[in-house]
Amino acid sequence: MSKFYITTPLYYVNDEPHIGHAYTTILADVIARIKKLQDNDVYFLTGTDEHGQKVQEAAKKRNVQPKEHVDEYVKRFKATWENLNIDYDYFIRTTDKNHTERVKQILADLYKKGDIYFDEYEGLYSVSEERFITEKEKEEGNFRQIKKIKEKNYFFKMSKYQSNLIKHIESNENFILPKSRRNEILGFLKNDLNDLCISRPKSRLAWGIELPFDKEYVTYVWFDALINYISAIGYNNDNEKFNYYWPADYHLMAKDILTTHCVYWPTMLMSCNISLPNTIFAHGWWLMDNTKMSKSLGNVVKPLDLADKYGSDALRYYLMRNMVLGQDASFTIESFKKRYNSDLANDYGNLVNRIFILISKHFENSIPEKGKYDLDDNDFIKNIENLTNLSTQNYSNIKIHDGIENTISIFRTVNKFLEDKAPWKTIKENKNIAGTTIYLSAEALRIGTVLLYPIIPEKSKKILNAMDCCPKDDTTFGFLKENSSINVIKNIFPRIED
């Protein structure tokens, strides 16, 4: 058994979770479930980023203390993940004592080592992104609420590690994925790196982890939050656990936080003499009317509203199927309904109905015995096997949308097979032939349902249970037991009518 450690970003608790947060978290959950089915020892980490200016401002707006605010909002994230069937192993909050202690310890170590120093700095500061930016970054136009700040602060010697970072990226092809993001970071690293300002004076921002060597300052929220990936698994606390799970196999996120993860984080790790994560994977954005969905733009869709109305599996399915990993995708209610009706209600749901009805009507609720295969049957099996292999391969390469499409093709192939073979007609002349057709169709349905389990765990389990099977079952053709009994289930994906 090998370990597999996967993380999501820690979401700011300045507002409610939205579809964008749900996407990354569901994606991590899907990958974690795939790895668990393959018998890996999976550790799936998510959580909340609770310090910093954004959170302090959100609390101020509500007229409550920051701690009271985060305690209340963290519940909304946890409730959302529960409703979306997110099976994480650990939920970390950056206000947890275990985390704050680790951050202080690292700060103290790096200060002692000379990698953190005190200096006065005058520069451009983006309030929305909570970081100092360069003139060039300002010109590129991706930062908002920019002001000029002159301040005494503590700095991390990020520049010291620039050439080692470049070497690491160049010699590890999968360190930053997709490839386009890797090139983006290598391009960024062609310019000299500035050192990283890692403190904020308390006079400007009080809500943070106090620096262990200066009571007048708190830690910059990113320097604090990134450390979660190691504090959560026992760094400097439970060495056995830490050595087992680290390095992380996947840090998942969207492209908005690529630099912090691909530049700040690896250089911080280098300074601590800790190995780097295996893969940092940045997906695209969910857009609403061609702009990024974000809390500050006020154009968010609340995932719970959709999940409440149509079920968590429907939302999980849509998000996983409609985003080509690495690219942006547009969220619309119309595309959600269209996808649900065509794939889940029509191709899949109708097939489930058809097969269960045929078995209950003609075979007294038990899987028919298979007879001799004819040429069409052999072709059908080959097709299903090919699609199964493709789907499994795509899942392994994190091409989830392609893997899903292969699985839906399995269902389309079965629907066509049933139409061609028309067992409802042949049953009158030859029950054995009809039984073979139905067995083969039920078996392909079972395989497709096992493949969809990581995406739609609730419905998939329900269908498999009704066939006396389970998600961990083999996907090789012929695994389905003849004469095993079924429980008829009806209308598993009811059509969404306008």
Interface residues with ligand MSP (CB under 6 A) are 9-12, 20-21, 23-24, 49, 225-226, 228, 253-254, 256-257, 285-286, 292-294
Q: Beta 196-197 vs 146-156: how paired, if at all? A: antiparallel
Structure tokens at 237: 């606390």
Between residues 228 and 312, which has the closer beta carbon with respect to ligand MSP? Answer: 228
Between residues 9 and 311, which has the closer beta carbon with respect to ligand MSP? Answer: 9
Supply the DSSP symbol for 469.
Answer: -
- Output the smallest distance, CB 12 to ligand MSP, in A: 4
Helix, strand, coil percentages for the chain (3-state, nearest 5):
55, 15, 30
Report how far residue 158's alpha carbon sits from residue 263's, in angstroms, rounded to the nearest whole number: 8
Q: Beta 210-211 vs 286-288: how paired, if at all? A: unpaired
- Output the smallest distance, CB 262 to ligand MSP, in A: 12
In the bound state, the residue with its beta carbon closest to ligand MSP is 20
Three-class DSSP category at 268: helix
- Output the smallest distance, CB 362 to ligand MSP, in A: 48
Count of H-run helices and E-run strands, the chain: 21, 16
Report how far residue 28's alpha carbon sits from residue 7's, in angstroms, rounded to the nearest whole number: 7
Please answer whether residues 220 and 156 qualify as being in contact, where contact means their C-beta atoms are separated by less than 8 angstroms: no
Between residues 5 and 23, which has the closer beta carbon with respect to ligand MSP? Answer: 23
Between residues 225 and 447, which has the closer beta carbon with respect to ligand MSP? Answer: 225
- Output the smallest distance, CB 339 to ligand MSP, in A: 17
Between residues 287 and 433, which has the closer beta carbon with respect to ligand MSP? Answer: 287
Please answer whether residues 318 and 339 qualify as being in contact, where contact means their C-beta atoms are separated by less than 8 angstroms: yes
- Output the smallest distance, CB 327 to ligand MSP, in A: 11
Q: At what angle do helices 312-322 and 400-421 cross, to 10 degrees?
A: 110
| Helix H or strand E segment including 93 | strand 90-93
Report how far residue 366's alpha carbon sits from residue 485's, in angstroms, rounded to the nearest whole number: 4
- Output the smallest distance, CB 253 to ligand MSP, in A: 4
Between residues 49 and 195, which has the closer beta carbon with respect to ligand MSP? Answer: 49
- Output the smallest distance, CB 20 to ligand MSP, in A: 2
CA atoms within 13 Å, Cβ hemisphere of 417: 31
Between residues 92 and 414, which has the closer beta carbon with respect to ligand MSP? Answer: 92
